[in-house]
């Protein structure tokens, strides 16, 4: 089943690249893109209680002004009762700080951690895995 993607990152260039990559490997998937974390959370909140037809994969940047990636994770934990069952959250960050990676791996909602940029091969392998 083809997953849907939600991308929350304040870095526009990165978003463009990620979108390109996703289209390249899963052209039929829908990609919702937010360069403002508040908007991103608003969307997630709006679907939080809904039964999703497709699996949802969220790419979440960590370092964003106002509402960070960690904040959104906390919100999800509190409010995403339904969405949590069918979604997989991947942290996507330019940070090479090992602490960030460690924190992400220890978070119950986080399935994986990607350093920017997303590379084709990596992503394809990941999507295949995600399919299974």
Binding residue (CB under 8 A) for another protein from 32, 38, 47, 75: 38
H/E stretch holding 23 reads helix 12-25
Q: Point out which span in 51-59, 74-82, 83-91, 94-102 binds another protein (CB under 8 A).
A: 94-102
Q: In this structure, what are the phi and psi dihedrals at residue 119, rounded to the nearest 5 degrees?
A: -100, 145
Say if residue 117 is preceded by a cis peptide, omega within 30 of 0: yes
Q: Check: CB of residue 28 under 8 Å from CB of residue 2.
A: yes
| Residue 84 lies near another protein (rule: CB under 8 A) | no
| Residue 125 lies near another protein (rule: CB under 8 A) | no
Q: Could you list the residues that contact another protein (CB under 8 A)?
A: 10-11, 13-14, 16-17, 20-21, 24, 36-38, 63, 65-66, 94-97, 100, 115-120
């Amino acid at each position: 089943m083809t997953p849907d993607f939600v991308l929350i990152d304040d870095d526009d260039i990165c978003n463009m690249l990620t979108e390109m990559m996703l289209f390249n490997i899963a052209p039929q998937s829908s990609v919702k893109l937010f360069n403002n974390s508040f908007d991103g959370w608003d969307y997630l909140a709006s679907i939080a209680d809904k039964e999703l037809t497709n699996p949802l994969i969220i790419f979440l940047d960590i370092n964003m002004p106002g509402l960070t990636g960690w904040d959104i994770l906390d919100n999800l934990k509190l409010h995403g009762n339904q969405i949590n069952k069918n979604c997989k959250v991947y942290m996507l960050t330019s940070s090479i700080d090992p602490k960030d990676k460690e924190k992400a791996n220890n978070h119950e909602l986080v399935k994986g951690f990607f350093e920017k940029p997303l590379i084709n091969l990596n992503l394809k392998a990941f999507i295949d895995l995600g399919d299974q």
